[in-house]
Amino acid sequence: MAGVIYYTYTPGVLEHLVPKRLPGLVIAVIVSGMRVWFSAAKIRFLSEKTLGWMASIRVVLAWDFTSAVTPSTIGGAPMATYAMNKEGLKLGGAGAIILYGVLLDQIWFAIAIPILLIAGLFYEVVPPEIGLLGEISMALVYTGLLCYAGLLAYGVLVNPTAIKKVVNWVFKLPFLRKFKDKIEVEAENLEEYAQQLRKKPARFLFKAFFLSTMSWICRVALATIVILSLLPAPEALSIFRSLAMNLAFLLVPTPGGSGGVEGLFVLFQGPLITREAFIGLAVFLWRIISYYISIGLGMMATTWYINRSVVESKLEE
């Protein structure tokens, strides 16, 4: 981010800010908060309201924090499972909720990909600057997401027993064998809760998917709102590029995508920003609102769970 600001900043650029556009940054913060709210609503809905609102929000913030400080291949799902367990859910039930939530995200990706392909007929969704290697990488991401969505849908909606078998097989490995007995019980809970979710009516799936979709729409819209808070830009193209950009983030292996996502923002959104000097400012504001605020709030939620674990341990002693 510092590199982007250094190479794009021009002295006096702040004089070109239009005051009537700046309230858009407040809207960006509100939309970021709405993303958390929709994610919490999804978790609460999938738990069948066993989790309260504050508990659901804490789970989401802890999930966001762990995602922000670990490589994208790990993500925050393990922390979210642990957090729900601390909120009173059985570990297997929490795992099933996470799997179902991830499945909803994958369904969203599976729908977003055709949208991008159709939009590509009318807009330059993938910037030419990305090159052949970038286009191949994007194609691999699209293919991988569709395959993963299919496997997850099979495991969660068709054959939850397969997930239990995979979990039990993993915990037969030598360094995990000591947890085998406990995990077998939780794997049974996971299968049982997954079976319950599988039997839910279609409207249950649609409502959960709606909440998941709204969370992703808020995430995608954030970059465009920040840019429009600074200067005019082609709104539709910026939204489509933001959607493609969010899918490309899945390729970035660094904690929270640091370094990579800033570069992708410049690559996808930079050409749409008419004043080059504003690119660094846009990256800075976008990352503060979408990333660093989440780290701060998520750190509070995560340490709340850690403190609770310490207290419980002392009480047991």
pLDDT tens figures, 271-298? 888 788 888 889 999 999 988 898 899 8
Select the more confidently predicted residue: 237 or 154. 237
Non-local (6+) Cβ contacts of 189 within 8 A are 90, 91, 92, 93, 95, 96
193: phi then psi, degrees, rounded to nearest 5: -70, -35
Cα-flanking dihedrals φ and ψ of residue 255, to 5°?
Answer: -55, 120
* pLDDT tier at 60, thresholds 50, 70, 90: very high
The greatest distance separating any two alpha carbons of the chain, rounded to the nearest whole angstrom, comes to: 66
Q: Is the pLDDT of residue 268 over 70?
A: yes
pLDDT score, position 184? 67
HEC sequence for 107-134 = HHHHHHHHHHHHHCCCCCCCCHHHHHHH
Confidence at residue 15, expressed as pLDDT on a 0 to 100 scale: 77
**How much is the pLDDT for 16?**
75
> Which comes out higher in pLDDT, residue 316 or 240?
240
Q: Which two tokens stand for residue 55?
A: 């508990």
3-class SS letters over 243-285: HHHHHHHHHCCCECCCCHHHHHHHHHHHHHCCCCCHHHHHHHH
- Among 23-27, 40-44, 180-184, 264-268, where is mean pLDDT lowest? 180-184
Helix axes of 260-269 and 235-248: crossing angle, nearest 10 degrees: 150
- Mean pLDDT of the 147-174 span: 71
Q: Work out the percent of the chain whose per-residue pLDDT is above 90.
A: 22
pLDDT at 32 over 70: yes
| Residue 71 DSSP code | B
Residues 6 or more apart from 142 whose CB is under 8 A from it?
A: 113, 247
pLDDT at 227 > cutoff 90: yes
Mean pLDDT estimate for the chain: 83
Q: How large is the average pLDDT for residues 112-120?
A: 86
| Positive or negative: CA dihedral 57, 72, 146, 111 | positive
Over residues 219-247, the mean pLDDT reads: 91
What confidence category does residue 186 fall into, taking pLDDT thresholds of 50, 70 and 90? Answer: low
Asked whether the predicted pLDDT for residue 27 surpasses 90, the reply is yes
User: What is the pLDDT confidence band of residue 226, given thresholds at 50, 70 and 90?
Assistant: very high
Residue type, 222: L
Q: Does an H or E element contain 203, and which?
A: helix 202-228
Task: Please report, for residues 43, 45, 91, 178, the alpha-carbon distance to residue 87 in angstroms, rounded to integers and kept in the order given.
Answer: 12, 15, 10, 25
How many structural domains is the chain composed of? 1
Reported confidence tier of residue 225, pLDDT bands at 50, 70, 90: very high
Give the per-residue pLDDT at 270.
87
pLDDT for 216: 93
**Domain around 73:** 2-316
pLDDT reported for residue 190: 67
DSSP state of 13: G
pTM: 0.84
Quickly tell me which residue has 């909720």 as its tokens. Answer: 97
The pLDDT tens digits for 88-109 are 888 777 877 888 888 888 888 8
Distances (CA, A) of 268 to 130, 173, 277: 8, 43, 16
Residue 84 to residue 88: CA distance in whole angstroms: 7
Residue pair 36/54 in contact (Cβ under 8 Å)? The answer is no
Cβ-proximal residues to 59 (8 Å cutoff; 6+ apart), any chain = 40, 43, 51, 80, 83, 84, 87, 301
